[in-house]
A and B are shown apart, each in its own frame.
Chain A
Amino acid sequence: MARLLDIENLTVSFPTPRGRAEVVKGISFTLGRERLGIVGESGSGKSMTGRSILKLIRPPGRVTADRMTFDGIDLTTQSERDMRDIRGARISMVMQDPKFSLNPVMTVGEQIAEALVTHKKLPRREIDERVIAMLEAVRIDDPARVAGLYPHEVSGGMGQRVMIAMMLIPEPDLLIADEPTSALDVSVQAQVLDIIDDLVRDKGMGLILISHDLNLVSRYCDRILVMNAGTIVEECAAGQLENATHPYTRGLLAAMPTIDEAREELPVLDRTLWAGT
Chain B
Amino acid sequence: MSFEPQTEPVGAAGASATLGRRRVLRGLGGIAGFIVTIALTFLGLLAITFFIGRVIPIDPVLSVVGDRATAAVYEAARVAMGLDQPLPVQFANYVADVLSGDLGRSVSTGRPVIQDLSRFFPATLEMATIGILIGVALGVPMGVTAASRQGSWTDQVIRVVGLLGYSVPAFWLGLVGLAVFYARLRWVGGPGRLDIFYDGLVPPVTGLILVDSLIAGDIDIFWNAVTHLVLPASVLGFFSLAYIARMTRSFMLDQLSQEYVTTARVKGVPERLVIWRHAFNPIRVPLITVIGLSYAGLLEGSVMIETVFSWPGIGNYLTTALLNADMNAVLGATLVIGAVFIFINKISDVLYRVLDPRAR
Contact = CB atoms under 8 A, between A and B. Distances in A.
A131 interface: yes
Interface in A105-147: 105-110, 113-115, 118-119, 124, 128, 131, 145, 147
A92 B271 CA distance: 17
A87 B267 contact: yes
Interface stretch (A66-74, A95-103, A212-220): A95-103
A56 B3 contact: no
Contacts of B263: 95, 101-103, 163, 166
A260 B267 CA distance: 45
Interface in B1-36: 1-6, 9-10
Given A100-B259, A105-B355, A150-B358, A85 B282 contact: no
A93 to B, nearest CB: 5
Interface string B307-348: 000000000000000000000000000000000000000000
Contacts of B270: 84, 118
A89 B269 CA distance: 11
Contact of A101 (B2, B262, B277): B262
A149 interface: yes
B265 interface: yes
A241 B319 CA distance: 81
B259 A101 contact: yes
A241 to B, nearest CB: 29
B218 interface: no
Interface string B238-271: 0000000000000000000011101111111111
Contacts of B267: 87-88, 92, 114-115, 118, 166-167, 170
A4 interface: no
Contact of A100 (B5, B260, B357): B260
Contacts of A113: 1, 3
A167 to B, nearest CB: 7
B268 A150 contact: no
Contact of A152 (B1, B6, B265, B358): B358
Nearest to A86: B268
Nearest to B1: A110
A95 B358 contact: no
B356 interface: yes
Contact of A145 (B9, B265, B271): B9
A56 B356 contact: no
Contacts, number: 106
Interface residues of A, number: 44
Nearest to B270: A84
Contacts of B268: 83-89, 115, 118-119, 170
Nearest to A99: B259
A113 B2 CA distance: 10
B12 to A, nearest CB: 16
Contacts of B358: 104, 150, 152
A124 B268 CA distance: 20
A100 B258 CA distance: 7
A32 B277 CA distance: 36
Nearest to A166: B267
Contact of B266 (A92, A97, A119, A124): A92
Nearest to B258: A100
Contacts of B2: 109, 124, 128
Contacts of B258: 100
B278 interface: yes
Interface string B192-225: 0000000000000000000000000000000000
A83 B266 CA distance: 10
A113 B269 CA distance: 12
B266 A54 contact: yes
B1 A56 contact: no
B5 A149 contact: yes
A96 B267 CA distance: 15
A95 B262 contact: yes
A109 B260 contact: no
A145 B269 contact: no
B281 interface: yes
Nearest to A112: B3
A113 B4 CA distance: 13
A120 B157 CA distance: 39
Contacts of B269: 84, 88, 114, 118
B282 A95 contact: no
Contact of B3 (A89, A105, A110): A110
B351 to A, nearest CB: 13
A61 interface: no
Contacts of A88: 266-269
A104 B266 CA distance: 17
A158 to B, nearest CB: 15
A186 to B, nearest CB: 22
Nearest to B356: A105
Tell which of A83, A92, A106 has the most Cβ of chain B within 10 Å.
A106
A267 interface: no
A148 interface: yes
B266 A152 contact: no
Contacts of A150: 5, 357-358
Contacts of A95: 259, 262-263, 266
Contacts of B282: 103-105
23 contacts: A56-B262, A56-B265, A80-B271, A86-B268, A87-B268, A88-B266, A93-B266, A95-B263, A96-B259, A102-B260, A102-B263, A103-B260, A103-B263, A104-B357, A105-B281, A105-B282, A105-B356, A107-B3, A114-B267, A115-B267, A128-B3, A148-B6, A170-B267
Interface of B: 1-6, 9-10, 258-260, 262-271, 277-278, 281-282, 355-358
What are the nearest 5 A-B pairs in CB distance?
A109-B3, A88-B268, A87-B268, A100-B259, A88-B267
